Amino acid sequence: MPHSGRLLRSCDRNRCDNLKGCVLMRCTRRPLLLAMLLLVAVRGDVLTQAPSTNITGTYGCAGTNPNGTPYAGRVGLVQHGETWDLRWELNGGQTALGIGLLRQNVLAVIFQTSDGFIGLAVYTVEPATETAPMRLVGHWLDPDGGGTYTETLTQMTTTEPRVPVPGERPL
């Protein structure tokens, strides 16, 4: 999940009463605000809806940067109870970690890149068919620049190397 490269300013962590300021700047309340956005993104009662699709695996990743250039890499997804852990390994060496909720066919994820960028991604799960692998087609938000950008995850075959997710439990 690359980002625009602009540095986020920090706000007064003891006195932050401006919600827009918290979202646009690094703030102690920012993770809470992003979590609220995540809950809104999955729509519905997150405590009672059961996930319906197993999306565990390694995926090829293709997306668009804020400057319009493409990026690619691999993403590992592992389920831990009601949540999903994600790890991106992008070409060029950038990595990111995320945690998400899957409800029906929507996966909403909060992520942080290796350079500290925090964002939100929402994917629609497209099940595998006889001729095509499972895909997660989504958009991610750059709170620094205010834009949304595309990203598609395409499930890789079992013979391709896996992307380990930190904290993954051994099989």
Q: Are 26 and 12 in contact (CB under 8 A)?
A: no
Q: Tokens 């592992």 identify what position?
A: 78
List the domains of the chain with CATH numbers: 19-155 (2.40.128.120)
One digit per residue, pLDDT tens: the chain, 171 residues? 554 443 333 444 344 444 334 434 444 445 545 555 555 545 454 444 554 688 999 999 999 988 899 999 999 999 999 899 999 999 989 999 999 999 989 999 999 999 898 999 999 999 999 999 999 999 999 877 788 999 999 999 866 556 666 555 443
Q: What does each C-alpha distance from 56 to 13, 52, 75, 77, 88 come to in angstroms?
A: 37, 12, 10, 5, 14
Predicted TM-score of the model (pTM): 0.69
